[in-house]
A = this chain, B = another copy of it.
Amino acid sequence: MFHIVYAVNMSSQRDRILECACDLYLKHGLDGFSMRKLARRVGVTAPAIYRHYEGREAVLADVLREAHRTFARYLYAALAKPTELERFIGAGEGFLNFVIDHPRWYGIMHTAPEHLGMAALPEDIEALIGSVHRIWIDRVRECMDAGILREGDPEMTSITMWAHAHGLVQLYHESALVMTEDEFRWLFEASGARLMTGVATEEFARELNNRVTPRDGEITLMPKNRSVKIETE
């Protein structure tokens, strides 16, 4: 009788290292992330890692890639929904689910590249970011067309909503808002609704609209979007 061992994972060691690196980062954050600890977790000594990765920076770049890819998948799930409103809400839910499921990944995605030992973000990651921006802006645009959101610059409206969501999450994660996960889910929705309907009285809102400050000269609010393929499966 033969025991056949398939060589399924020819280059598996790099994958194993990446997996451990993600675990390590997700558990102990950026500060607790060192090549030595990573090696210990993989079950080898530190120099062995360097056979598979150029250095710490390269490992972290892969962790970051994994984070962005997972994030994109959470958002892409909304695209399958049938109506504009459902896709819009679905994108918000995807965001919320991701930040709750993977707070540290969300953290590393908002860490300055220099802090990770990189001069700049790798091109493919920037492309991933751009594509996620595009998903979101497209949802806003189609909701404007569908009469759900007010007419206006979709990019501008996107940023207002993005900042609000991002800020809520940051405050929650840094424990400036002390509450349970369930309470935060409720807060996220309730505060989002408040943003939709506005916080000013109708009277003051009218007054505010009359003193709009138009701005000449365009601002590029979000970095340019590049196309990128995402495995939806």
Chain A contacts to B: CB under 8 angstroms: 31, 110-112, 115, 147-150, 156-157, 159-168, 170-171, 174-179, 183, 186-187, 189-191, 193-201, 203-205, 208-209, 212-213, 215, 219-223
Contact = CB atoms under 8 A, between A and B. Distances in A.
B164 A204 contact: no
A154 B208 CA distance: 20
Number of copies: 2
Most buried by B among A157, A171, A178: A171
Contact of A208 (B111, B186, B193): B193
A163 B213 CA distance: 23
Nearest to A175: B112
Given A161-B199, A163-B164, A186-B219, 8 more contacts: A149-B199, A157-B199, A159-B187, A164-B164, A166-B170, A186-B215, A196-B198, A197-B205
Nearest to A112: B174
A204 B165 contact: no
Most buried by B among A110, A187, A198: A198
Which 7 A-B pairs rank lowest in CB-CB distance, beginning with the nearest? Answer: A198-B198, A167-B167, A163-B167, A166-B167, A196-B200, A163-B168, A197-B205
